[in-house]
């Protein structure tokens, strides 16, 4: 899956928000209940690896709740970025046995709107042989990254308007 969208905020602060403040942005994303940083590693080369735990907000009917595996709402998101690179590699792994494999992909950033915006190219691989599941997970991943990018854009806009002390 490949998707391109544009966010009306400059590249560097937007990438910084999406990589370093992703868990903070979760509070602005309606389908996320919680997110927390599990581990942050920075290699001597500056290569950053962030491991995060996310929990989806769901509203399951009471009748279905006994049939849903614990952990289905939980996933681990790993982000990797080299210093100065405009590409972020990501992996998402479900905590549930019902969800096979892991999704992975990249976010590539480029200036847009004459430098006032950022073009984001999302690529995603969903490792399942079932086309219907690939479509469902692809739509969920697209919604997730679009919502995070919108939250990051709002965060950058608010930071830009904040008075300097």
Domain that holds residue 114: 2-161
CATH code at 118?
A: 3.30.530.20
Q: How far apart are the first and last CA of the chain?
A: 44
87 forms beta bridges with 108
**Domains held by the chain: number:** 1
- Per-residue pLDDT of 40-82, as tens digits, reads 999 999 999 999 999 987 776 677 666 666 667 788 999 999 9
Residue appearing with tokens 């991943």: 141
CB neighbours (10 Å) of residue 93?
A: 15
Return the pLDDT at 44. 96
Residue appearing with tokens 């590249």: 11
Rounded to an integer, the average pLDDT of 126-137 is: 78
Distance, in Å, from the CA atom of 30 to the CA atom of 48, rounded to the nearest integer, reads: 27
- Per-residue pLDDT of 132-163, as tens digits, reads 877 888 888 899 999 999 999 999 999 877 66
Task: State pTM to two decimals.
Answer: 0.85
């Amino acid at each position: 899956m490949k998707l391109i969208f544009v966010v009306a905020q400059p590249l560097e602060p937007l990438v910084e928000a999406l990589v370093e403040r992703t868990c903070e942005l979760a509070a602005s994303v309606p389908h996320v209940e919680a997110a927390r940083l599990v581990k942050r590693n920075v290699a001597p080369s500056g290569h950053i690896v962030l491991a995060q735990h996310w929990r989806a907000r769901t509203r399951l009917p009471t009748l279905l709740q006994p049939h849903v595996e614990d952990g289905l709402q939980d996933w681990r998101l790993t982000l990797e970025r080299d210093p100065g690179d405009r590409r972020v590699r990501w992996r998402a792994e479900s905590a549930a046995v019902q969800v096979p494999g892991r999704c992975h992909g990249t976010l590539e950033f480029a200036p847009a709107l004459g430098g006032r915006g950022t073009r984001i190219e999302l690529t995603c691989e969903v490792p399942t042989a079932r086309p219907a599941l690939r479509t469902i997970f692809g739509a969920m991943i697209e919604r997730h990254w679009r919502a995070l990018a919108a939250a990051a854009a709002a965060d950058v806009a608010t930071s830009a308007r904040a008075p300097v002390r």
